[in-house]
Amino acid sequence: MPTICYKCFSTSIQEHITSRSNRNGNAGRPFLKCQSCTKFLGFTDERGNCPDNPPCDCGEPSKTQLVGLGLGKRVPRGVFFVCRRAECNYYAELVNEEGDQVRATEVVEELLAGLRIF
């Protein structure tokens, strides 16, 4: 069954690969993008998939990801969850006991990416 864009409901979805020069830790990762509205829908690899993640709006376990760097600065990155199948617009931040978004340092991020957790 084809993936339907959760923004414009088009079925014109195409898989792409992030460039090798991607500096957000996503170099070479496959992802889906809607050709009609150009919305990034999500990564299609197994990185960040865990059966213990909270369920998304589709009822499936979500995918763990990190907020992009933004503004070219190396800053701590926030951990969040999205639909692992790129079929809904689910988004939830991982928060600590104080209600603040959990952040990963660059070293931890590289370690977790190497383990294919994020």
For CA atoms 64, 80, 62, 91, give the dihedral sign. negative
Helix (H, G, I), strand (E, B) or coil at 15: strand
Mean predicted lDDT score pLDDT of the chain? 82
- Read off the pTM: 0.76
Model confidence band, residue 110 (pLDDT cutoffs 50, 70, 90): low
SS3 content of the chain, % helix, strand, coil (to 5): 10, 30, 65
CB 39 within 8 A of CB 7: yes
Beta bridge partners of 22: none
In whole angstroms, give the CA distance from residue 10 to residue 111: 37
b (16+ CB within 10 A) / e for 89-116: ebeeebeeeeeeeebbeeeebeebbeee
In this predicted model, what pLDDT tens digit does every residue of 7-50 receive, in sequence order? 899 887 888 999 988 877 788 999 999 999 998 888 999 999 99
Is the per-residue pLDDT at 74 higher than 70? no
